[in-house]
Amino acid sequence: MTAVAIATFDSEGAYLRARADAIARDHRIVGEWMPYASKALGEGEGRNGILASVLAGGALGGFGLFALESWSAVSAYPIDSGGRALWSWQAFIPAPVEFSALAGGIAGMIALFVKARLTRLNHPAFDWNEVADASQSSFVLALGCDEGEDANAALDLLAGAGATHSRLLGV
């Protein structure tokens, strides 16, 4: 059976100490909740993945629509209109530019939902009382303890870092 050692901290400093100690002692962090984004954890963590998705979605959408317009005007349905060339690429530019913005926005939203794990409708952690308080005023850190690990050592680590409340949950 696996267990989760969960602790509540009143200050960001105590939370960061506990997090650093847990990483130094190779404990597995299974959840961390806080009322605001901590600058000490690194600014912009994870934004690169979303930005790359926006750029890739926009480029693929824009180039895809340009290719579709070119193919349809030249191969699928060629119309000789006043002796003009079939492939007049200048006329095909406005729609792909607009569509690339739309495709990039949609790709960014999908990447945000996937990266933030918002695709789950319910997570068991939301049943814990500590997590409900984390959005208001406290910092919560949860450490996973697999079979064979001493779960009390994880509780001692959290209490030693300044946890105001800690407990062991059987999962």
Confidence of residue 2 (pLDDT cuts 50, 70, 90): confident
- Range from 7-21, 62-76, 116-130 carrying the lowest mean pLDDT: 116-130
Assess whether pLDDT exceeds 70 at residue 46. no
What three-state secondary structure class fits 33? strand
What is the pLDDT at residue 148?
64
H or E stretch at 46: none
Confidence of residue 57 (pLDDT cuts 50, 70, 90): very high
Confidence of residue 42 (pLDDT cuts 50, 70, 90): low
| Phi, psi of 142, rounded to the nearest 5 degrees | -120, 130
pLDDT above 90: percentage of residues in the chain: 26
- Predicted TM-score (pTM) of the model is 0.59
Kindly list the strands in the beta sheet with 165-170, ordered across the sheet, starting from the edge strand earlier in the chain: 28-33, 139-145, 3-9, 165-170
What is the pLDDT at residue 1?
44
What is the residue-wise DSSP string for 136-158?
Answer: TT-EEEEEEE-TTS-HHHHHHHH
CA nearest to 163, candidates 129, 154, 24, 126: 154
Domains of the chain, earliest start first: 3-35+135-170 (3.30.70.1710), 47-115 (no CATH)
What is the pLDDT at residue 47?
57
In terms of pLDDT, which residue wins out, 102 or 23? Answer: 102
